[in-house]
Chain A
Amino acid sequence: MRIQRRLTTPRWLVVAVPVASLIAAFAAAAIVLLIAGKDPGATYARLFDRAFIAPGAITSTLITATPLLFTGLAAAAAFRMRLWNIGGEGQLYLGAVGASGAGLFLRDQPPAVIIAGMVGGGLAAGAAWSSIPGVLKAYFKTNEIITSLMLNYVAGLLLTYLIFDSRSFWRELGTFSARAFPQGKQLPDAATWPTFDLGVAVIPFGFLLGLIAALGLWLFYRSTSFGFQARVLGDSPSAARYAGIKTRRVVVAMMALSGALAGVGGASEIGDFRHVLDPRGLQQAGFGYAGIVVAALARYNPFAVAVVAFLLGGLANAGYSLQGPDFPAGLVGVLQGMILFFALGGELLLRYRVSFRARLAAAPS
């Protein structure tokens, strides 16, 4: 067997490898199910049904997929230019804080104003949070992987502080039970994001916003001068400096853009689904980290991010709704892990050519 580095990657492989890793993951998990004495066929049929077929399934899948779509785009936007923002998790929390704060603050305004305020609030808070590692990287040459990761923990603590450890604007203090069991203030009904009924499925507003963001990101990299600068800088910093590109400015702006996307993901989670700032729920979901997987599987292509987010959203959604004694607990987690494992293995095939052939007969000596 010989392994050689590829100079170019054929297009079909770029699609074939992630698809094959999905199939391989399901096959491997089927073996696990067989060992556990479950029927993989029936289990997968139920999973698929709950994710995409059952009444209302598509809508819940889309609601779960929306934050994944945003965090996936956030990761794709940054990773595409080799800016390793893995702070999508914290930026999403901050987006949720910003959006719920805006929703509560604008409670007496017409719905359109409230919703616009929530989107803007999530966007601004996420961007501000990711600008911290961006500025640190641009001006002090710190490693953005570490700073953005550490800020995830800070953001998690901030959420807890706002609801559990303070009398903040976000915390419900009016009712008796809320004083005993701390919880966030419920947003007004007017702050619930609209849905669009297409007959086959009901589309949440957040998902629509995500699709627009995906298109926007694609256009950004393809057709704007600034996106061009980001591509050059990601490929070769010294070529970027040579071309007169203001590299610090591009780094800060791209980190802000990435954080803004994650922040809107946090806003969608509030507006489409939770309607309250819920530290535990947000932290358990782990959308920020999952977004990194989404972006990697999608190979940083914004449209592929939407497809992958939809599929993984379906898986997560089915996992929630099938939890129970008759459904193997942890199956979804196993599947997600397997998908990641095979996707990373598949990377090898994209970067290297593996060929099996007999070695040229070695000269006898």
Chain B
Amino acid sequence: MNPEVTAGAVPAVAMRSITKRFPGVLANDSVDFEAREGEVHALLGENGAGKSTLASILTGLYRPDAGDIEIYGRRVEFHSPRDAMAAGVSMVHQHFRLAASLTVADNIVLGHQAAPWLRASPRTIESQVTDLARRYRMPVNPTARIWQLSVGEQQRVEILKSLYRGARILILDEPTSLLTPQEADDLFETLRRMTAEGRTIVFVSHKLEELMAVSDRVTVLRGGRVVGTVETKSTTPPQLARMMVGREVVFAQSKEAHRMEGGEVVLELRGISADGDLGIKAVNDVSLAIKAGEIVGIAGVSGNGQRELAEAISGARRRSAGDVIVDGRSLRNGDPEDAIARGIAHVPEDRLGTGVSPSLSVADNLILKSHRRAPIATRGILRRQRIAANAKQLMSRFSVSAPGPDTPTRLLSGGNVQKVVLARELSSRPRAIVAANPTRGLDVGATESVRELLIKAAAGGVGILLISEDLDEVLALADRIAVIYEGRIAGVVPRDEADVQRIGLMMAGAPA
């Protein structure tokens, strides 16, 4: 974005032959990475490619097993994020590290001041914060407490915190994953202002469109290695995708939108409400009807009641009001067994802790819900041959790749764990499926196959409620899109009338 940057100058960041090994994986394998002063340099790669690891090494959170780092041409060795900060390097993490009960201003100065008794007056800090916020167009109230802020605002606080401490090199790890489309645009605007001042941004992401919009150059990682570095201007999304995945990728996988007129309703939510873990209402009077063969998407920013809604339907959470009706009959409240028996399949958000029992074998996890019934069990005794046959059949049908059916499920990759969940849920011949963020954290290949399975299930007459924080996913798969905001359905639109701008506004709480 900054034409004055000269290629020959000393790079702001130079990492050479960085190697980092974790038990069982080589997360970074002789990685070379350079970012010029004043550029937005994107770090692209699938989940598990080693992006966060490389970023954590650059900020002193991990120490590399081998390799070295230069900042503005000076050799550095960081032992902690504090060392990195002193050299002007700071990171905004995928998961924020803010103290929820303190104010914005407190969080910004927290841990920065040399000694508490040298503390600047709160008034001074607040005006400094306000100035910074204005300069970078990141409106935020310095006296607000963190817990009162939206996710987007919290991210601004993280960025301001880095700037306040004089960061010249800022690393953002998947910064848009929790933002609405408008918030993401605002963030890009802020980043441009920062690079115009000569700051350097390392922008970690696996979303191609946003990289194309925001970056000057892209370095692609695959399996811990650098595939290459390219100028954004002279590349295309398909080329980047090929570098990232190592093969051609089928784009824009989507379902034929079909108008469901007169199809029978398989799952109906009638005014359901439920409390969250803290006893505060998380789902508020939600009503929806899902027809056979239809995919209804629920879009929304994370934390607006999506998880609680899924649990209230599947019985894992008690409803404080309302009914879930399957084939005309209401489900027992707070009883997952009833929901299972009545044909409600559930692909939970937390796949490794909830969707499967992590230490149990793949074969055992494939009977997680059918272990009490014939043919898997007769008179309370498990039929081992049938369990093995079931595992063999499902693993090949859903192409689960694992060393064997007896492998503990936690040793599988995320995509294969999700395939185990889907194999079990889809093979139970459900009437309806509630799928919560079914592709989150999966690589492109696994995402493709999960989406394909859902589309196929819908084609087979199953009604699907797809709850996803990935708006592109909802737009690609759903026949109708409902937007959830603070536990309420803010509006429902058919896909062919869907407008990203309008949906984005609804996600942010603006009236439909």
Contact = CB atoms under 8 A, between A and B. Distances in A.
B279 interface: no
A45 interface: no
Given A225-B377, A225-B382, A229-B371, A8 B353 contact: no
Contact of B346 (A224, A225, A242, A363): A242
Interface in B219-241: none
Interface string A329-365: 0000000000000000000000001000000100101
B483 to A, nearest CB: 26
B336 A242 contact: yes
Contacts of B358: 235-236, 239
Most buried by A among B66, B315, B357, B408: B357
A110 B206 CA distance: 79
B359 interface: yes
B110 interface: no
Contacts of A242: 314, 316, 336, 346, 348, 354-355, 368
Contacts of A360: 65-66
Given A4-B23, A244-B340, A232 B381 contact: no
B460 interface: no
A167 to B, nearest CB: 46
Nearest to B377: A225
Interface string B438-457: 00000000000000000000
A228 B75 CA distance: 57
Nearest to A240: B357
A258 B26 CA distance: 44
A303 interface: no
Contacts of A238: 350, 353-354
Nearest to B356: A239
B384 to A, nearest CB: 7
Interface string B310-346: 0000111000000000000000000111111000001
B336 A228 contact: no
B22 to A, nearest CB: 9
A235 B364 CA distance: 12
A273 interface: no
Contacts of B354: 236, 238-239, 242
A241 B371 contact: no
Interface in A177-231: 222-226, 228-229, 231
Most buried by B among A6, A8, A236: A236
B68 A363 contact: yes
Contacts of A236: 353-354, 356-359
Contacts of B65: 360
B350 A243 contact: no
A273 to B, nearest CB: 35
A7 interface: yes
Given A238-B353, A238-B354, A243-B368, A231 B360 contact: yes
B360 A225 contact: no
Interface residues of A, number: 28
A244 B353 contact: no
Given A232-B357, A235-B358, A226 B336 contact: no
Interface size of B as a range: 35 or more
A222 B363 CA distance: 13
A7 B24 contact: yes
B350 A244 contact: no
Most buried by B among A5, A229, A244, A360: A244
Contacts of A232: 357, 360, 368
Nearest to A365: B77
Given A238-B350, A238-B354, A239-B355, A228 B340 contact: no
B511 interface: no
Contacts of A246: 337
Contacts of A235: 357-360
A259 to B, nearest CB: 21
A228 B371 contact: yes
A43 B340 CA distance: 64
B369 interface: yes
B356 to A, nearest CB: 6
B135 interface: no
A8 to B, nearest CB: 7
5 contacts: A223-B381, A225-B371, A239-B355, A243-B336, A243-B368
Interface of B: 23-24, 65-68, 75, 77, 314-316, 335-340, 346, 348, 350, 353-360, 364, 367-369, 371-372, 377, 380-382, 384, 408, 411
Top 7 A-B pairs, shortest CB-CB distance: A244-B337, A244-B336, A239-B357, A238-B354, A225-B377, A235-B357, A243-B368
Given A239-B354, A246-B337, 19 more contacts: A6-B23, A7-B24, A7-B411, A223-B384, A224-B380, A224-B381, A225-B371, A231-B357, A235-B360, A238-B350, A239-B353, A239-B357, A239-B358, A241-B316, A243-B357, A244-B315, A244-B336, A244-B339, A244-B340
